[in-house]
Chain A
């Protein structure tokens, strides 16, 4: 079964540093997403990406965050100048039909900011 791959599985970084979280979506999917989940809290939408541009973003996704699809397979989330409150699990997801089908999620990157 096709899967969404995320690397690294766990990243520890110092406050103020930049991190890049990487995702390889399923190859025939067209829509890509990043979500985050702070420990014990609900899954929160960050951003959706289609046709090489951001489709929609949440209020969480401020200037600190950026996304990129640098080639035909990778989809990255960059967090600049990390803060303690950025510590969370970050999930990448993809699908090929945004309205009628649910997402396939990657197994996540646990980001710990110290």
Chain B
């Protein structure tokens, strides 16, 4: 089983749509969880941390289910500018090593 697994997509959605991405991780001792976005040939940029209670930042909502080792990201009212690859990221215990998922590609079309 991969350490961090994501549906590669691509997801093709119209503007204004709601889209959800899922991610699973294999190490039950993992401590910290994040979503990053990466534009083509650019560096990853932190989108949001993921907390056990769930958290929201504007149109973005992240959820964590430790029992199922599952993380999700919901994007509401998609914008053209949301088109990117979304990376699920997991820190191992101690936090010195971070594992990136392969990413889910999102295309938002007009």
Residues of B within 8 A of A28 (CB): none
CB within 8 A of A98: which of B34, B49, B91, B103?
B91
B103 touches A99 (CB 8 A): no
Residue B42 CB within 8 A of the other chain: yes
User: Which stretch in B18-26, B66-74, B75-83, B94-102 binds the other chain?
Assistant: B94-102
Residue B36 CB within 8 A of the other chain: yes
Closest to A6 in B: B43
Q: Considering only CB atoms and an 8 Å cut-off, how many residues of chain B contact the other chain? A: 25
B32 touches A99 (CB 8 A): yes
B100 touches A107 (CB 8 A): no
Q: Mark contacts of A48-86 with chain B using CB atoms, 8 A cut-off: 1 yes-contact digit, 0 otherwise.
A: 101000011010000000000000000000000000000
Given the known inter-chain contacts A50-B96, A99-B95, A102-B34, please indicate yes or no for A42 contacting B43, CB distance below 8 A.
no
Residue B16 CB within 8 A of the other chain: no
Residue B46 CB within 8 A of the other chain: yes
Residues of A within 8 A of B106 (CB): none
Residue B44 CB within 8 A of the other chain: yes
Residues of A within 8 A of B34 (CB): 102
Closest to B38 in A: A43
